[in-house]
Amino acid sequence: MRPAELIEQKRNGGTHDPATLMELILAYARDEVPDYQMAAWCMAVYFNGLDATERDALTDAMVASGETLDLGAALGRKVVDKHSTGGVGDKTSIAVGPIVAACGVPFGKMSGRGLGHTGGTLDKLESIPGLRVELTTGELVTQVREVGMAIVGQTANLVPADMKLYALRDVTATVDIIPLIASSIMSKKLAAGAQAIVLDVKVGDGAFMKTIDQARQLAADMIEIGEHAGREVTCLLTDMDQPLGRAVGNALEIHEARETVRGDGPADFTELVLDACARLLAYSDLGIDVDEGRRRAETVVADGSALQRYEQWIRAQGGDPDPDALERAPVRTTVTAPGDGVVTRVGAHDVAIAALELGAGRRTKDDPVDHAVGVLCFAKRGDTVLAGDDLAEIHARDDAAAERAAASVLAAYEIGPEPPPERGILLDVMP
Ligand code: URA
């Protein structure tokens, strides 16, 4: 295998032999192929794509590059998992986990940190004082057995090829390539051992996939990779033109996830969480369908057992589940409506950039994250507002940062005379 030949082959629109492609990826993971050659290969893939056989070989190589985990065998249960392609205000797993666990289905999830607008699930969880995300595989299994759930950091030896390749893509403008995203996401799910996976593919201004057609293509690729690996996969295609729920920022999102687990969350976020739970429960070994899954998810939220499970889980990982223990930003400013009308747009990307500038996200992978800061978007698309009504609230470290963020968030809002076309959170379900 000569990397330069593979780069040339892909640059010229050719197709790789699967075994040779696997060799390239495994050699890269072993540091035997330099970053500059992989970067050139990724750019060739950006222009000429990968076919299904190449994409599946890439995924197999990613999985084979490190250890795998068989959580199902360790627990003696069928294991289900969920994953989101990433969006603004996306704290779904933090609310889904306790609900699914309270319904009697084990939920052991490996998550990542965010690079970009706001923190990832791990950053959000670390805004809970004392909470530990670096559990060993043994600790993960024990906790899922005893508490029913855990969300932990991905260990460095699980899919190391993806860790390296993703970091390279991130700085070479080669993240947004559908087969590479599909392979990257699915390799991590397959290596973590889930037998059935619910994928939340975000669509819109604040997501990788800007259009529903791109999202459908990504979903189709991930479903095919799942089939190739003998796993069940469902993709929810969900709206990311506006932030999910109200909260964008780490501690603020933890607070909102907890509110949702106890039945007091924002409508769009609650709908997404309950729908994902229903499908995970239907995939589980409980032997129920999606409608019954939905009923059970609603029941554990209403009777308080999901909240109880949330508190047990946070304590098991060393955290304090009391929402008053979350750090609060010292400065709060409201953003008010400049006139009467209906909210027609709350630009997810603009709100995310405001949150990033407040310090809620990181620009490079070693940047610290400020857990306390962020934005609460009270008014969402379709809401009627009067001049002077609160649209949003900025949580900032100082007045200057608050003022800058307030101006950006105000620019994210569009208010018009007519309501926008009605659109729920769930745009499509595949297959
Ligand atoms: N998330 C991933 O895990 N990988 C990608 O390539 C893109 C988003």
- Which pLDDT tens digit goes with each residue over 211-252? 999 999 999 999 999 999 999 999 999 999 999 999 999 999
Name which of 54-68, 100-114, 274-288 the model is least confident about: 100-114
Q: Is the peptide bond between 323 and the residue preceding it cis, with omega within 30 degrees of 0? A: no
pLDDT at 114 over 90: no
* Strand duo 149-153 + 331-336: pairing: unpaired
CB atoms within 10 A of CB 400: 10
Q: Residue 422, exposed/middle/buried by CB under 10 A (0-12, 13-18, 19+)?
A: exposed
Report the pLDDT averaged over residues 173-194: 93
Report the pLDDT averaged over residues 257-286: 98
Quote the ligand 1 centre to 191 CA distance (angstroms). Answer: 15
pTM above 0.75, yes or no: yes
* pLDDT given for residue 274 in this prediction: 98
Catalytic sites, residue numbers: 83, 162, 169, 184, 188
CA-proximal residue: ligand 1, atom 6 (nearest): 181
Give the pLDDT confidence of 342-394 residue by residue, as tens digits: 999 999 999 999 999 999 998 877 788 999 999 999 999 999 999 999 999 99
* pLDDT given for residue 117 in this prediction: 67
d(CA 249, CA 369): 10
Ligand 1 pocket test: which of 181, 199, 202 has the largest number of ligand atoms within 8 Å of its C-beta? 181
d(CA 273, CA 263): 11
d(CA 108, CA 101): 9
CA-proximal residue: ligand 1, atom 2 (nearest): 185
Report the pLDDT averaged over residues 307-326: 98
**Position 116 confidence tier, pLDDT thresholds 50, 70, 90:** low
Q: Is 234 in the pocket of ligand 1 (CB under 6 A)?
A: no
Q: Which amino acid is at 388?
A: G
d(CA 329, CA 395): 5
Of all residues in the chain, what percent carry a pLDDT higher than 70? 99
Ligand 1 pocket test: which of 85, 122, 202 has the largest number of ligand atoms within 8 Å of its C-beta? 85
* pLDDT given for residue 115 in this prediction: 59
Report the pLDDT averaged over residues 14-25: 98
Q: Is 184 in the pocket of ligand 1 (CB under 6 A)?
A: yes
pLDDT at 16 over 90: yes
Q: Is 166 in the pocket of ligand 1 (CB under 6 A)?
A: yes
Report the pLDDT averaged over residues 327-348: 98
CA-proximal residue: ligand 1, atom 3 (nearest): 185
Q: Are 242 and 381 in contact (CB under 8 A)?
A: yes
pLDDT at 314 over 90: yes
Q: What is the DSSP letter of 11?
A: H
Considering the chain, what is the average pLDDT of its residues? 95
Q: Are 97 and 300 in contact (CB under 8 A)?
A: no
Quote the ligand 1 centre to 221 CA distance (angstroms). Answer: 13
Q: Is 207 in the pocket of ligand 1 (CB under 6 A)?
A: no
d(CA 195, CA 76): 12
Quote the ligand 1 centre to 307 CA distance (angstroms). Answer: 30
Q: Is 394 left (phi over 0), alpha (psi -120 to 50) or beta?
A: beta
Q: Is 269 in the pocket of ligand 1 (CB under 6 A)?
A: no
Q: Closest ligand 1 atom to the C-alpha of 181? A: 6
Quote the ligand 1 centre to 215 CA distance (angstroms). Answer: 13
* pLDDT given for residue 338 in this prediction: 97
Quote the ligand 1 centre to 272 CA distance (angstroms). Answer: 21
Angle separating helix axes 18-29 and 160-170, nearest 10 degrees:
80
Residues 6+ apart with CB under 8 A from 9: 15, 16
**Position 81 confidence tier, pLDDT thresholds 50, 70, 90:** very high
- Which contacts of 39-42 are long-range, i.e. CB under 8 A and separated by 24 or more positions? 39/168, 39/172, 39/174, 40/7, 41/3, 41/6, 41/7, 41/10, 42/165, 42/168, 42/169, 42/172, 42/174, 42/177, 42/180
Q: What number of residues does the chain have?
A: 431
Say whether 358 sits in a helix, a strand or coil. Answer: helix
Of all residues in the chain, what percent carry a pLDDT higher than 90? 91
Say whether 399 sits in a helix, a strand or coil. Answer: helix
Which residue in the block uniquely carries the two structure tokens 């289905």? 105
Quote the ligand 1 centre to 184 CA distance (angstroms). Answer: 5
Q: Token pair of 30, please?
A: 């072993």
